[in-house]
Structure 1
Amino acid sequence: MTFLFPLVLTVHILVGVSVIGLVLIQHGKGADMGAAFGSGASGSLFGASGSANFLSRTTGVLAAIFFMTSLGLAYMANAKPTVSGSVMDAAVQKAPAAAPAEVPAPAKDGSKAQDIPK
């Protein structure tokens, strides 16, 4: 399951960018009027209306794939096991703190080190 999430996420991002590109390439409804009088896309690879059908169908298929990957990512995000407790509990249980090292007291050779409170 750990390899599936990055794979679905990558497909989701690529399909999303592809849908954006295809939508920007498509002509609006008003662009068909110019093709009807012999200008524009009438001499294109797919013909006057062939490119619109191809782009529309491809956009529809990619939108369906985008929808399915969205549902898959939502399912995988909610399917992860939940850990009970707080963040502070997890930090305490992780590793106990080591005991502090003893600091040796200074020698009594007439210095004022013994006057410093500990």
Structure 2
Amino acid sequence: MHTFLVVIQVLVAVALIGLVLIQHGKGADAGAAFGSGASGTVFGSRGAANFLSRVTAGLAFVFFVSSLALAYWVGGRGTAPASVVDTVPAQAEPAQVSIPDEAPVAAPAGDSAQPEGPKVPE
């Protein structure tokens, strides 16, 4: 289904690009009023603009619907992702940290600003 939606998306996008490029701007209508040959076309002088604009609107609608369908399909159909906290198993007891019992280290002579404390292994 995903591949089908991607193929539809690409084909509609290419068709939209082509339709937009072949349409005339609003300023091109003034030239048709003076006999530039647009009145002799298959759709008539105003028919091509209406037909192309309706086809473009229809393709734009299909493009938007396929975009929403792809977003829904890729996004997991609206399910919320699992929390990392929920996936970690709870521990029964916190880990016990043992501190070795050592005698306090005496401060060097003349350095009374340093308080005595346990020696930290390096």
TM-score by length of 2: 0.62
Q: Residues 1-118 of structure 1 correspond to what in structure 2 (within 5 A)? A: 4-79=1-76
* Larger Rg, first or second structure (1 or 2): 2
> Mind listing any 5+ residue stretches in structure 1 that lack a counterpart?
86-118
SS in 2 for 1:59: helix
| Counterpart-to-counterpart distance in 2, 1:83 and 1:12 | 30
Tell me the C-alpha RMSD between the 2 structures: 1.8
Query: Which consecutive unaligned segments of at least 5 residues does structure 2 have?
Result: 85-122
**Identity %, equivalent residues:** 56
Cα deviation digits, residues 35-57 of structure 1 (max 9, x gap): 11111311100001000000000
User: Structure 2 CA distance, aligned partners of 1:6 and 1:36?
Assistant: 47
- CA-CA distance at 1:83 after TM superposition: 8.5
TM-score with structure 1 setting the length: 0.64
Which segments of structure 1 move beyond 3 Å, counting only runs of 4 or more? 80-85
